[in-house]
Amino acid sequence: MGIKELIIGWLKQDQAMKQKPSFMSVVNVAKGGGNIVKMDSAREVMIKSINKVNSRVAISGIVIIADENSFVIDDGSGQAHVFFSVSEFKQGLYLRVIGLVTNVDNFVGIQADIVQDLSNVDKLLHRRLKQILE
């Protein structure tokens, strides 16, 4: 049985339980490199609204500082320090980060599970959409 069949089976099971499957849940099913990993869905938020540790979030913004295993992302409302095992991201890239909030005290910290390059996305339009949905 391939990953496509597993995802279809999972979606049918989700529908049978009368739960609306989310896009992020579908992405997370395939995340485990062949193993099915069930994660909580990530909610797209502005950084300024993050206030709960251990919540799964999706943020997007521009990389303003990049280090070996981390980077700082700014979405216009605030900044978050993102930790990721591979950090080949350069300043100025527009990224979406999906991960677990690890800190909200002095700074917002996120342990990333998924990082997506949004360089081809209209940044202004994307930000307006996020603000409307929030």
Task: CATH number of the domain at 107, please.
Answer: 2.40.50.140
- Percent of the chain residues topping a pLDDT of 70: 69
Looking at the structure, tell me whether residues 63 and 120 fall in a common domain: yes
Domains held by the chain: number: 2
Looking at the structure, tell me whether residues 48 and 103 fall in a common domain: yes
Bigger pLDDT: 23 vs 39: 39
Looking at the structure, tell me whether residues 5 and 57 fall in a common domain: no
d(Cα 109, Cα 120) in Å, to the nearest integer? 26
Looking at the structure, tell me whether residues 111 and 50 fall in a common domain: yes
Amino acid at 64: I
Identify the pLDDT of residue 69. 84
Which of the residue ranges 57-61, 66-70, 89-93 has the most confident prediction, judged by mean pLDDT?
57-61
Identify the pLDDT of residue 21. 42
Looking at the structure, tell me whether residues 32 and 60 fall in a common domain: no
Looking at the structure, tell me whether residues 14 and 47 fall in a common domain: no
Per the CB < 8 A criterion, the answer to whether 97 and 109 are in contact is no
Identify the pLDDT of residue 122. 86
- For residue 7, name the pLDDT band (cuts at 50, 70, 90): low
Looking at the structure, tell me whether residues 112 and 74 fall in a common domain: yes
pTM of the model: 0.68
In this prediction, residues 37-48 reach a mean pLDDT of 79
Looking at the structure, tell me whether residues 16 and 82 fall in a common domain: no
DSSP E strands: which ranges in the chain? 43-44, 56-66, 70-74, 79-83, 94-103, 108-117
Q: What is the DSSP letter of 77?
A: S
Looking at the structure, tell me whether residues 23 and 48 fall in a common domain: no
- For residue 2, name the pLDDT band (cuts at 50, 70, 90): low
In this prediction, residues 66-80 reach a mean pLDDT of 92
d(Cα 38, Cα 51) in Å, to the nearest integer? 24
d(Cα 3, Cα 64) in Å, to the nearest integer? 36
Looking at the structure, tell me whether residues 65 and 35 fall in a common domain: no
**Residues of the domain holding 2:** 1-40
Q: Which two tokens stand for residue 120?
A: 């081809």
Looking at the structure, tell me whether residues 61 and 117 fall in a common domain: yes
Bigger pLDDT: 31 vs 40: 40
Per the CB < 8 A criterion, the answer to whether 41 and 57 are in contact is no
Sequence-distant (≥ 6) Cβ neighbours of residue 77 within 8 angstroms: 46, 47, 48, 49
Looking at the structure, tell me whether residues 21 and 76 fall in a common domain: no
Judge whether residue 51 has pLDDT over 80: yes
